[in-house]
Amino acid sequence: MTGRFHGVGVGPGDPELITLKAARLIAAADVVAYHAGVGKQSNARRIAAELIPASAVEEQLTYPVTTGATDHPGGYAGALAEFYERSAARLAAHLDAGRDVVLLSEGDPLFYGSYMYMHDRLSERYETEVVPGVPAFAAATAAPLARQTDVLTVLPGTLPEPELARRLADTDAAVIMKLGRTFPAVRRALEAAGRLEHAEYVERASMEGERRLPVAEVDPATVPYFSLVLVTGDSRNGRRSRSGAAASAVVATAGQHEPGCAGATAGSEGGSGTTALAERPDGAGSPESSGREAGEAGAGEVLVVGLGPGPDHWLTPEATTALAEVDHVVGYGPYVARVAQRAGLTRHASGNTVELDRARLALDLAGRGERVAVVSGGDAGVFGMATAVFEAAEDPAYRDVPIRVLPGVSAVQAVAARAGAPVGGDFAVMSLSDRLKPWEVIERRLRAVAEADLALAVYNPASRSRTEQIVTARRILLEHRKPDTVVVVGRDVGRDGESLTVTTLADLDPAAIDMRCLLIVGASGTRVSGAGRVWTPRWVKP
């Protein structure tokens, strides 16, 4: 008979916060194990010291390194992986001998706890039980952290600073853990996200020497690892929650995601969708309200910005400057996430298929004198948000709101450049999405392009719910083009994992095409050079 393995949370520091079940298991354990740093005592053991029986075998699992500096050939990750394997073997020896093992964990075992690495290695081999513990942030919270529809986000301070700022700006309430040396970057991220005012620093929660003060007043040199930051929810701070009835946000939808292809390309086609703007506490959200305020403010403007297919270096200097100056960024969630958070910037992310709602929100904000950027992947004027903004602006209520479109690198340009010059001559651009136009129209246009012998860039060739359109499109093109017509398939171009495939119309596999792809179907003159470059001549033989 093997022993039982227990992962036991002992809470944040106060021994009185240990659960009854945890206390019972510790007192009955054959083996009590705990982690510790080099030359340091285990905090978990200190918390549970009065409960550990004298008869128990104690196993201290001492980390070989905690700061990342090591001469291990595998580096920091290699040193820790080896340590976890050795530690698991030590505990397994006890379990194989029939002894019950309790591994102590500060806070909760499965919440940023060291226990989980032993769980990964032992739980499938031995009977295992996890006993939850009070997490540090629960002990640190001395005032309402989140209420009603507030969303609470727990973040590690080790995140890259821009990503931390973005996530802080996009949530209602937050807990930031793992401070210590990360504190200066955390403070800057809070300031960039506009959350510094409501951020509280808590050190050694529930322990002797607990300290609390506003983050803005903390000396970074005094911050230990056992500290955290609490950012109270929007409802507590007198603002509407970003979730549900978000302050100037658009309700996200669960509709079919068709944002375009070949990296964050051009966005889906403009359309009204089926959802409306979230309720606004200031009365905005109605064209009538915006129209009245637009005449009074007059300083607002909507900039429709193309972000390019993905890489930052494909973002134009004009777009970079605009995004650094606007007050609001409105757009489809993944595109808004590409805009760096900074102080004074409010983000309005929403789901797909609500383009007109996004456009109206931007126009409402600009009508009240705000500077607003509506963002699209690729070029905003190619199956992007520019058309939706102009469509919404046809409402007389928005007649005085200025609109400018800032161009971006389009997906077709990115894929064509990777391939060579397949659109070097006359070419057409089409989307196979039939969400806003009948499929009959798409078929008619496909035949016209094929008969005109134009190179063709195909956006939105397929999605999870649209798998037959690309099959039909290939069949229609083969009615007018030779089987050896060159086809370029770009997937996630400009992003990690991008690929470029050069094939022919006859060999094109529709099953391999998805929403992350953009296709370029060559004209009759399109050729592939010896170096694999695809190009279409500028001239056409009579």
**For 277-300, how does the pLDDT look when each residue is reduced to its tens digit (9 = 90+)?**
333 333 333 333 333 333 344 479
Percent of residues, the chain, with pLDDT higher than 90: 73
Check residue 38 and give its pLDDT. Answer: 87
Region 104-115: what's the mean pLDDT?
Answer: 94
Distance CA 86, CA 70 (A): 17
Distance CA 224, CA 400 (A): 54
Residue 269 pLDDT > 60: no
Q: Spell out a b/e string for 31-59, using b for 16 or more CB atoms within 10 Å of the CB, else e.
A: bbbbbbeeeeebbbbbbbeebbeeebeeb
Check residue 293 and give its pLDDT. Answer: 39
Residue 369, amino acid: G
For the ranges 122-126, 353-357, 512-516, the maximum mean pLDDT occurs at: 122-126
Q: Which of 427, 429, 426 is nearest to 262 (CA)?
A: 429
Sequence-distant (6+) residues with CB within 8 A of 277 are 250, 251, 285, 357, 360, 361, 364
What does the pLDDT look like over 204-243, one tens digit per residue? 999 988 999 999 999 999 999 889 999 998 777 765 544 3
Residue 276 pLDDT > 50: no
Residue 414 pLDDT > 50: yes
Distance CA 410, CA 264 (A): 10
What does the pLDDT look like over 357-373, one tens digit per residue? 999 999 999 999 999 99
pLDDT band at 68; cut points 50, 70, 90: low
Residue 437, amino acid: K
Structure tokens at 529: 């050079």
Check residue 239 and give its pLDDT. Answer: 59
453 burial level (CB within 10 Å; 0-12, 13-18, 19+)? middle
Beta strands in 407-538 (DSSP E): 420-421, 427-431, 455-459, 486-491, 499-504, 517-521, 527-528, 534-535
Region 106-133: what's the mean pLDDT?
Answer: 96
Check residue 206 and give its pLDDT. Answer: 93
pLDDT band at 272; cut points 50, 70, 90: very low
Residue 165 pLDDT > 70: yes
Region 158-166: what's the mean pLDDT?
Answer: 91
Give, in order, the Cα–Cα distances in Å from 497 to each of 262, 416, 470, 494.
Answer: 11, 17, 23, 9
What does the pLDDT look like over 486-519, one tens digit per residue? 999 999 999 888 999 999 999 999 999 998 999 9
Check residue 25 and give its pLDDT. Answer: 98
Check residue 238 and give its pLDDT. Answer: 65
Q: Are strands 301-306 and 371-376 parallel, antiparallel or unpaired?
A: parallel
SS3 state at 497: coil
Check residue 404 and give its pLDDT. Answer: 97
Structure tokens at 534: 């695809």
Check residue 247 and give its pLDDT. Answer: 36
Q: Are strands 403-406 and 31-36 parallel, antiparallel or unpaired?
A: unpaired
Region 180-204: what's the mean pLDDT?
Answer: 93
pLDDT band at 249; cut points 50, 70, 90: very low
> Which DSSP helix (H) or strand (E) runs through 224?
none
Averaged confidence pLDDT in the chain: 87
CA dihedral (121, 122, 128, 134) in degrees, to 10, reads -40
Q: What structural domains and CATH numbers belong to the chain?
A: 5-134 (3.40.1010.10), 138-231 (3.30.950.10), 287-409 (3.40.1010.10), 412-535 (3.30.950.10)
Task: For the full predicted model, state whether its pTM sits above 0.85.
Answer: no
What does the pLDDT look like over 292-340, one tens digit per residue? 333 344 479 999 999 999 888 999 999 999 999 999 999 998 899 999 9
What does the pLDDT look like over 343-353, one tens digit per residue? 899 999 887 77
